[in-house]
Structure 1
C-alpha cells in the first residue's frame, strides 16, 4: 500500500518514505509510528494506542515518545510548533490531519504527487487574473519577527482581494505551503491559479525591505521582481507599491484606481498594528492559551488605537471561541463584552470587510439576529468578494436563517477560494447541514464524515454526522457519532441544543433534534 500526502509518498511494501525523487532516511520505529498515524488518521490515537502498537505495550517515557514524534514530524517537514500534518490534542492524543490519497499500485517511479505517477489534476483556472500569495520568508535576524512577515503577506493579500477583477486564494490555503520548498507549477495546479507571488521581508531596526517576485504558474516564468526599502513607519506605502506592481504586471488593462480606492491604512499607530499582528499569530495556534494571548494582544491594540475596528472584531471573536469551547469563567459578563466589542467593530468598520464580517457573525450568534448578521456579511462581501472566511461564515448564517440552497452556494465559493484551508472541516460541515435541511441525508452524512476527519473535536460536525446517519436509517453509525460528541462535550443534551444550533425555523430545529434523539443524544 502507498499513501500520498503533499509531495510525500509512504510505501509500506518497500518501507520507504519518499519526498519528491529522494528517499527520506527513517529509523524503523519512526517509520512504523508514521505509518500507524496515517492508517488511523480518522481518529485521535492516544499515547496508550501508540505504546501498544509500536512498543508492544512496553513502558515508554513521555520524553521518549516526544522524541520519536519529533523525528516523525521532522521527516515530513512538520514541527511541534506548526503541527501542519500531525496535530497534538492536549490530554487526548495525536492525529494525522494531512489530506491522504491511497493506492494499491506498485511503485514504479519517483513520487510525482499522485498514485499514478502523473501530475496532480488541477482545479480549473478562473476566467480572470488569479493569484496565490505564498508566505514571505522572514530574513530578519530575530525569528520572533515571523508574525511581522506573515502580517505583510496578509495585508497584501487583502489589498489584492478587494479588487473585483481578480481571483485571490485565501490566506489559509496559501499558508499551508509555509516552511516548504515548493514547485510553483504544483502550487498553481493545487490552488487553481495562474500566478504565484513569492517574497521576503527583512526588518532591521527602523528599516524594512520587502522583496517580491511574480511567477507564471503555468510556465514558471518570472514576470516581475523588485524590492522596496523604507522606514518602518512607511510600511503600508511599501505594501501598496508591491500591490500596485503585481496588478500592473498581470493585468495592465485593469484599473489601478480601484485598488487605490480600496486601499486603507489599518491604523496610523504602528504599535497598535504590531499588537494586532501578534494577536492574529496567537489565535491561529487554535489553542486555549493562544486564544487568551490573542485576546490580550487585541485589547492592547485597542488601547493604543481606539479606532482600530479589526482589533475589536477579533477580540469579540476570541470571546465567541471561549463560549463555543466552554472556556469562559463568567459567561454572562464575557458574552456582554463580546457583544459590545462586535458592535464597536461594526460601527467603526463601516467600509472594512473584516470588521463587518466578523462583527456581524458574532452579533448574529449572540443576539440571534441573523437578518442583521446576513446584511453585515453581505456588505463585507461587497467590499471583498474574495474572502473565503466571509463566504464560510455566510454559509452558516444562511443555515441558521433557513436558506439551505444559498448556504450550499456560499460554502462552495469558500471552498474554491481556499481549497487547502486547514478549517475546511467547518466549510464541509456547513454544506452538510444545508443538505440535511433539504432531506438529502446520504449527501449530508458523506460531507459530515469528511468534516469529522478534518477535526473530530468539532462538535457541530459530529452532531450533523449523527443526525443525518440516524435519519438515513444508520442508527448504529449515528450512535457512535453521539458517543464521540459526548466525549468532546459531556454536557451535551437535547435541552441545551439551541445554544449550539440556533435554527430560526422551528421545523428545522425539530428535524435536527429528531435525528439526534434517534442517534441517542440524552434529553
Structure 2
C-alpha cells in the first residue's frame, strides 16, 4: 500500500472476485463482513472451512509464482470451531476472537487451525498438519494448542541450481499388502528406556520385512514420526501404505507390557488390537506374538514356514540385545563422529556378551564405513584388518541374516575394496529380504563402483520407495546423482545432488558430486561453491581423494570424476 495504494487496492479486489469468493461459495461458506484487507467468514462445517481455505491458499501460491516478491499479496487464515452469537447481520463470541488470533500467528500464505478444528477434520480432509503445541493468544485467557496446515507437496519447488524437481507428498500404495510400523511409545516414564521401545518397533519391522508377500516401509522412514502426534491416515498417505501399526511399551521392574493396534490407513478402522504381558526374559516370545498376530491380520495366506522365519531371534542374550539397541540409537545419528565411536563401542560390547550375535558384527563393520566416508580414518591396514575380521564373523554366523550380510557386503566393498565378495553378500541379503531398503541402497553404490550406473539407478529408486523419508535419503539421492554423472547426464546429476544436500547440507559425498556434476554441466559458480564448502569441512585434495571415494573398477570413471572436481577447483 505504501508504494502503490490504488494498484494494491485494485489487485486486492481482483483477488476477492477471482479467488476468494468462488472458493468460499464452492464450500458453502458465508462472508459475514470485510474488514479492510481481511474478512470474517462463517461455515456450517469445519471440513468445508478447511477445504475452502486450502483451495484458496494453493490458488494464491500458484498465482504468486509469477509475481515479484515485493509485489505479492499474501493472506493468513485462522480457523476455529466454537459457539457464536448472531446479531444484526454480524457474529460475535470467543469463537470469532480465537479464529482472529489464530490468523495472527499463521504464516503469510498459511493456515493455522485450533485443536478443536483439527479434531473435526482429522482423517476427513486430504491434508497434513504440523503440531505447533500450546500457543498463548492475545486476550485469550488459556494457552491453546494449534496446528499448521502443510500446503507443500503440490506443484514444483525450485532448487538452488536453478533446476526444478517435482516432489509429491502422497504416495500410492503398491499392489501387494503394505504396512508401516510407527515408533512405539515409551510409557515407562524413564527416558533411558526410549531405546527399548524403539528396538521393539524395529524388531517387528525386521520380522515383517522378511515376508516377500508384504511391502514394508523401512525403519528410518517410519521413525521420522517419532515424538509427533500422528494421524494414521496422514501417515498412510505420506508413506504410501494400506496399513499402519502403532503401539506402546511399558516397562516396570522385571515386567513388560506391549500393546499394538493395526489400523486401515484408508478408513481409519481398527483391524486388530491386542496386549501382551510378560517378564523381561520372555521379551522375544512377546515379540513373536505381536508379529504373528499382525501378519495373521493382514496376510492370512502367508505360509507357516514364513511365519516361523519371522520369529527368528537375533540373540539369546537380552543384555547383549539391549547394548545392540543402544548402539543402533547412536548409529542412526550418522554424521556425528562421537556418536559413531560410541555406536562401535556398544556393538563390540554386545559381541563380548554374545560372541554369536551376527547383526552386531555387521553393524560394527559398518561403523568403519561411516568413518571412512567422513574422512575420520585413513586407509590403514589396521582398519582393513578389523573390517575383515568383523565381516567374516558376521557372514559365518548370519548366513540368513539380511542385515548382517548387507552391512558386511558394503563394508567389504568400500573399506576393504573387495567388490566381488561385497556385491555377492548384498545380493544374497536381497534374496533373503527384498524389503530391506538399506540393502538396495548399498547395492546401488556397489553397482556404481562396478561400472553399472543404470542398474544402480533402479536400485536407488527401489530403496527410496521402500523408505521414502529415510534419514539416509541423502545417500540414496547422492548415489542417484553419481549414477547419472557416470553416464554423462550432468544436469540430472546436478539436480539429484541438490536434493541430496537439501537432506544434509554438509554431506561430503553430496558436495563432491555436486561440484563435479555442476562443473561438467557448465555451471562453474555452483561447482566452486560446493568445493569451497567441501574444503571447509574436510581438507580434501585430488591427491587424497582415493581415501574417501569409492573403489571404482573402471579407470574411465575415476578419470571422469577427477576431471569434474578439477574443473570445479579442487586443488591437486
The reply on whether 1:168 has 2:216 as its aligned counterpart is yes
The reply on whether 1:354 has 2:403 as its aligned counterpart is yes
2:278 counterpart SS class: strand
Q: Superposed, which structure 2 residues align to 1:103-252 within 5 Å?
A: 112-114=149-151, 122-252=170-300
Residue 272 of structure 1 deviates from its aligned partner by 0.7
- With over 3 angstroms needed to count, the CA separation of the structure-2 counterparts of 1:403 and 1:330, relative to structure 1, is closer
* Residue in structure 2 matching 1:436, options 464, 485, 495: 485
- TM-score (norm. length: structure 1): 0.78
The reply on whether 1:497 has 2:545 as its aligned counterpart is yes
Task: Report the more deviating stretch, 220-229 or 318-327.
Answer: 318-327
Q: Superposed, which structure 2 residues align to 1:11-90 within 5 Å?
A: none
Q: Name 2:467's counterpart in structure 1.
A: 418
- With over 3 angstroms needed to count, the CA separation of the structure-2 counterparts of 1:373 and 1:115, relative to structure 1, is closer
Q: Superposed, which structure 2 residues align to 1:425-464 within 5 Å?
A: 425-464=474-513
CA contact (8 A) 1:197 1:213 kept: yes
Q: Name 2:416's counterpart in structure 1.
A: 367
CA contact (8 A) 1:134 1:198 kept: yes
Structure 1: runs of 5+ lacking an equivalent: 4-10, 36-73, 78-109
CA contact (8 A) 2:478 2:513 kept: yes
Rounded to whole Å, the distance in 1 between the matches of 2:412 and 2:462 is 23
Rounded to whole Å, the distance in 1 between the matches of 2:467 and 2:259 is 25
CA contact (8 A) 2:106 2:148 kept: no
- With over 3 angstroms needed to count, the CA separation of the structure-2 counterparts of 1:18 and 1:147, relative to structure 1, is farther
Residue 370 of structure 1 deviates from its aligned partner by 1.1
CA contact (8 A) 2:361 2:390 kept: yes
CA displacement, residues 333-391 of structure 1 (integer Å, 9 cap, x when unaligned): 23422221122212211110111000111011122121211110011111111111111
Q: Name 1:86's counterpart in structure 2.
A: none
RMSD of aligned alpha carbons: 3.2
1:163 counterpart SS class: coil
- With over 3 angstroms needed to count, the CA separation of the structure-2 counterparts of 1:17 and 1:171, relative to structure 1, is farther
Rounded to whole Å, the distance in 2 between the matches of 1:201 and 1:312 is 27
* Residue in structure 1 matching 2:450, options 401, 411, 426: 401
Rounded to whole Å, the distance in 2 between the matches of 1:76 and 1:466 is 38
Residue 476 of structure 1 deviates from its aligned partner by 2.2
2:430 counterpart SS class: helix
Q: Name 1:71's counterpart in structure 2.
A: none
Residue 277 of structure 1 deviates from its aligned partner by 0.7
Q: Superposed, which structure 2 residues align to 1:268-307 within 5 Å?
A: 268-286=316-334, 287-307=336-356
- With over 3 angstroms needed to count, the CA separation of the structure-2 counterparts of 1:12 and 1:318, relative to structure 1, is farther
- With over 3 angstroms needed to count, the CA separation of the structure-2 counterparts of 1:497 and 1:150, relative to structure 1, is same
Residue 23 of structure 1 deviates from its aligned partner by 8.6
Rounded to whole Å, the distance in 2 between the matches of 1:316 and 1:356 is 11
Rounded to whole Å, the distance in 2 between the matches of 1:269 and 1:218 is 40
1:299 counterpart SS class: helix
- With over 3 angstroms needed to count, the CA separation of the structure-2 counterparts of 1:358 and 1:25, relative to structure 1, is farther
Which of the pair has more CA radius of gyration?
2
Rounded to whole Å, the distance in 2 between the matches of 1:76 and 1:183 is 15
1:180 counterpart SS class: coil
2:468 counterpart SS class: coil
Q: Name 2:558's counterpart in structure 1.
A: 509
Aligned length: 442
Residue 320 of structure 1 deviates from its aligned partner by 2.6
Rounded to whole Å, the distance in 1 between the matches of 2:99 and 2:544 is 53
1:230 counterpart SS class: strand
Rounded to whole Å, the distance in 2 between the matches of 1:145 and 1:376 is 34
Higher relative CO (CA 8 A, sep ≥ 6), structure 1 or 2? 1
Residue 252 of structure 1 deviates from its aligned partner by 1.6
2:150 counterpart SS class: coil
Structure 2: runs of 5+ lacking an equivalent: 1-56, 59-71, 83-97, 110-129, 134-146, 156-167
- TM-score (norm. length: structure 2): 0.72
CA contact (8 A) 1:323 1:331 kept: no
- With over 3 angstroms needed to count, the CA separation of the structure-2 counterparts of 1:475 and 1:335, relative to structure 1, is same
